[in-house]
């Protein structure tokens, strides 16, 4: 199968990362099927011959049903499923936030993305291993105050990657932490009047002084993890910025991942310390 015959599905091409990934896949000769909410954001790619975009709001079950119908009608089968949906709000402490808003964020950032994967799973390629990519966020190993909905959702996705890896021989499913990126989701922090001052200043400093993660690095990391396959990548959480997926330590990383099945997964820290002393 040639590159031109391979189909990449991107949930939310209208997100910052989603759009940048779509452009790069198209430039490399892939067919891109994707979703969007605002047409003006995807105008760079919507007219390209190998790109077919479908309006979809994942908070509406009717939109997801329409997406499935489109796959059936066009006989679309994906080799790689990438979910680029992300909502940082609400930025508030748990007991001060409107719970419906908090719940909506959890649904958008995790549950509804899983709903789309569940709905489109029957349309993965019939032979070989298909790839599924989610995006992680900050706060997996610490606490970022005022972001409990977003971070809890990402942790759910991290664990679901491990579950779905164990349950499906034909999936290479992993989650990638892209680091700070200059996308509209971070711009929203500066525009949101409810953003805590500390978070506002941190984000403002980033936009003024930091170029952010290069989108090409995110693309290259995803491509590398897809090439490594299930034994190395699947069920794990990777960092584009901090993990040595290229350079001198790349082979060492691969070796460690093959040997240690707990590496880059959610685990209790030092959980074996006292067990060993018995």
Q: CA 249, CA 261: separation in Å to the nearest integer?
A: 19
> 33 with 52: CB under 8 angstroms?
yes
3-state helix, strand, coil in the chain (%, to 5): 45, 15, 40
Q: CA 161, CA 155: separation in Å to the nearest integer?
A: 10
What average pLDDT does range 127-134 have in this prediction?
Answer: 96
What average pLDDT does range 114-125 have in this prediction?
Answer: 97
203 inside domain: no
- Check pLDDT > 80 for residue 65: yes
- Check pLDDT > 60 for residue 243: yes
98 inside domain: yes
Query: Which CATH number characterizes residue 221's domain?
Result: 3.40.50.720
Predicted local distance difference test score (pLDDT) of residue 190: 76
Report the number of distinct structural domains present in the chain: 1
Which of 231-235, 239-243, 271-275 has the lowest average pLDDT?
Answer: 271-275
119 inside domain: yes
Count the alpha carbons within 13 Å of 4 in the hemisphere toward its beta carbon.
2
What average pLDDT does range 2-21 have in this prediction?
Answer: 87
190 inside domain: no
Predicted local distance difference test score (pLDDT) of residue 3: 47
Which of 10-24, 116-130, 181-195, 217-231 has the lowest average pLDDT?
Answer: 181-195
Predicted local distance difference test score (pLDDT) of residue 189: 74
**Which structural domain, as residue segments, surrounds residue 226?**
3-180+215-259
- Check pLDDT > 70 for residue 2: no
- Check pLDDT > 70 for residue 129: yes
Lookup result for tokens 């290259």:
220
**Percentage of residues in the chain having pLDDT higher than 90:** 74
Predicted local distance difference test score (pLDDT) of residue 247: 92
239: β partners: 177
41 inside domain: yes
- Nearest one of 233, 108, 115, 241 to 175, comparing CA atoms: 233
- pLDDT greater at residue 228 or residue 180: 228
208 inside domain: no
Distance of CA 242 to the CA centre of its chain: 17
- CA distances to 3, 4, 161, 197, 230 from 27, in Å: 11, 10, 28, 41, 26
277 inside domain: no
170 inside domain: yes
Q: CA 17, CA 268: separation in Å to the nearest integer?
A: 31
> 140 with 154: CB under 8 angstroms?
yes
C-beta atoms surrounding 153 within 10 Å: 22
Predicted local distance difference test score (pLDDT) of residue 139: 74
* 149 token code pair: 């909905």
Mean confidence (pLDDT) of the chain: 91
For the entire predicted model, the pTM comes to 0.92
């Amino acid at each position: 199968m040639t590159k031109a015959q391979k189909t990449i599905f991107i949930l939310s091409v209208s997100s910052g990362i989603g759009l940048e990934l779509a452009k790069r896949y198209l430039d490399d000769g892939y067919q891109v099927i994707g979703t969007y909410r605002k047409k003006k954001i995807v105008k760079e790619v919507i007219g390209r011959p190998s790109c077919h975009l479908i309006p979809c709001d994942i908070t509406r079950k009717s939109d997801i049903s329409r997406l499935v119908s489109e796959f059936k009608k066009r006989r679309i089968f994906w080799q790689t499923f990438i979910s680029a949906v992300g909502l940082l709000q609400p930025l508030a402490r748990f007991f001060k936030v409107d719970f419906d808003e908090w719940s909506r964020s959890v649904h958008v950032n995790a549950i509804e993305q899983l709903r789309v994967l569940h709905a489109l799973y029957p349309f993965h390629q019939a032979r070989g291993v298909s790839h599924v990519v989610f995006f992680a966020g900050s706060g997996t190993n610490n606490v970022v105050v005022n972001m409990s909905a977003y971070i809890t959702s990402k942790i759910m996705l991290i664990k679901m990657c491990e579950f779905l890896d164990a349950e499906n021989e034909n999936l290479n499913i992993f989650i990638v932490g892209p680091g700070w990126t200059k996308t509209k989701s971070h711009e929203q922090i500066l525009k949101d009047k409810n953003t805590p001052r500390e978070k506002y200043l941190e984000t403002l400093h980033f936009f003024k002084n930091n170029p952010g993660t290069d989108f090409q690095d995110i693309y290259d990391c995803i491509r590398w993890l897809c090439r490594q396959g299930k034994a190395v990548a699947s069920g794990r959480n990777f960092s584009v910025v901090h993990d040595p997926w290229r350079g001198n330590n790349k082979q060492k990383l691969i070796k460690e991942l093959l040997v240690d099945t707990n590496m880059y997964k959610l685990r209790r820290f030092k959980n074996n310390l006292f067990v060993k002393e018995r």
